[in-house]
Chains A and B, each alone.
With several copies, the nearest count.
Chain A
Amino acid sequence: MYHDVVIAGFGGQGVLFIGNLLAEAGMDEGFHVTFMPAYGVEMRGGTANCNVIVSSEEVGSPITDSPLTGIIMNEASLMRFLPSIQKDGFLFYNSSLIPEEAVSRNDIQVVPVPANDLALKVGSAQVASLIILGCFIEWTQALRKESFPHALEEMISPKAREKFLPLNLAALEEGIRYAQELKQKGS
């Protein structure tokens, strides 16, 4: 198993959070994982992105130039990362903010996720990233869904846990549900 993912969006869209979560869950499943955030001056200008790799063998470079999957939260990031996704790879994009026309590739599986809308449904636009992550998990089956609740718990500080854990879990579930729905439509 080797799955490398680029996750990108505005600062504040939870991009680093879900990247971390993905790595955390991968680790819990016993995989080799790396999480590599963009940092420093790269952060100025309000964008954020990171690379996550989950692999059954030791990971080489933690920076992935042609990831298998892109999880993209806004249009600027789509411009930047769409071309790099591997042929036959996956794109999960936030269709609440990104118009369909912007996605110009047909050699990859493209999964539009109205993440902001679904997030609002769950209770807060804040958790859009978890929606899209849930969708990724279900669609690719890269990791087991069961790993995420625990990973989430690890990542949220004990103080905030009570308040945020249920919301985050709900978002993840919603994402998973949405993916299942999509799949069914597709099949």
Chain B
Amino acid sequence: MAKVSIDRERCKGCHFCIEVCPKKIMVVEKRYNQKGYPPVEITDMEMCTGCALCAEMCPDVCIRVWR
């Protein structure tokens, strides 16, 4: 089991994380955040392997991963 937390207010919507997630469980949120960017969320946390690729590729250090 793994856990991923995303700081949505810090996110700038570059979507690198979506791109690299091997499980393809990250998607763009419908709502914009305060700064006007489209942040990401995880659709199915169960599937997450905690590989942390998403976090590694996040330029804004928005993601923490537990495993």
Contact yes or no, A46 B34, CB < 8 A: no
Give complex CA distance A92, B35 in Å.
21
Give complex CA distance A74, B36 in Å.
9
Q: Which residues of A contact B34 (CB under 8 A)?
A: 76
User: Whose C-beta in chain A lies nearest to the C-beta of B34?
Assistant: A76
Give complex CA distance A165, B35 in Å.
31
CB contact list, B31-45 vs A, under 8 A: 34-37
Q: Which residues of B contact A10 (CB under 8 A)?
A: 36
Q: Which residues of B contact A74 (CB under 8 A)?
A: 36
Is A45 in contact with chain B by the CB < 8 A criterion?
yes
Q: Which residues of A contact B36 (CB under 8 A)?
A: 10, 46, 74, 76
Q: Which residues of B contact A76 (CB under 8 A)?
A: 34-36
Give complex CA distance A76, B35 in Å.
8
CB contact list, B9-67 vs A, under 8 A: 34-37
Return A126 CB to nearest CB of chain B, in Å: 16
User: Whose C-beta in chain A lies nearest to the C-beta of B12?
Assistant: A46
Q: Which residues of B contact A46 (CB under 8 A)?
A: 35-37
Give complex CA distance A10, B37 in Å.
10
User: Whose C-beta in chain A lies nearest to the C-beta of B37?
Assistant: A46
Give complex CA distance A76, B36 in Å.
9
Return B35 CB to nearest CB of chain A, in Å: 7
Known: A46-B37, A76-B34, A76-B36. 6 other contacts (CB 8 A): A10-B36, A45-B35, A46-B35, A46-B36, A74-B36, A76-B35
User: Whose C-beta in chain B lies nearest to the C-beta of A10?
Assistant: B36
A-B contacts, 9 of them at CB < 8 A, read A10-B36, A45-B35, A46-B35, A46-B36, A46-B37, A74-B36, A76-B34, A76-B35, A76-B36
- Which 4 pairs from chain A and chain B are nearest by CB? A10-B36, A46-B36, A74-B36, A46-B35
